[in-house]
Amino acid sequence: MRLFSRRRVRPDPSAGREARARTLAHFHEFVATRVGVEAYLEPPTAHDPHTVVLVARSGEWTRRRVPDVRAARALAAELGIPIYDVHLTGYPASMRRWSSANRRR
């Protein structure tokens, strides 16, 4: 038995489509059930690719991964909401207030 096999496991392409469909469904539901939703594009980190944070006027927010900037902008256009770059605008104050008020203790 070899410790390191030369065979490579190929990713299942349907898994990516399912994840994309779940993300789209979640974002559509979030936008449909909240008022004043805006998207914020976060840069990639060492551990995660680009992410998009949707923030409602109340400050409630949700975050999901996206493959790249183009996909994030297309997603915001599909949802009909504005998208901002976090590096340029920062996070909205309502998001910080909501997070601090709903922090688990």
**Position 50 in a domain:** yes
- Tell me how many domains the chain contains: 1
What does the pLDDT look like over 21-71, one tens digit per residue?
Answer: 898 999 999 999 999 999 999 999 888 889 999 999 999 999 999 988 999
Domain span at 43: 35-101
How far is 100 from 91, CA to CA, in rounded Å? 14
**Position 96 in a domain:** yes
Query: Mean pLDDT across the chain, nearest whole number?
Result: 87
Q: What is the pLDDT of residue 2?
A: 57
Q: Which tokens in the block code for residue 77? A: 């256009």
**Position 81 in a domain:** yes
Angle, helix 13-33 to helix 69-79, in steps of 10 degrees: 40
Q: What is the pLDDT of residue 20?
A: 83
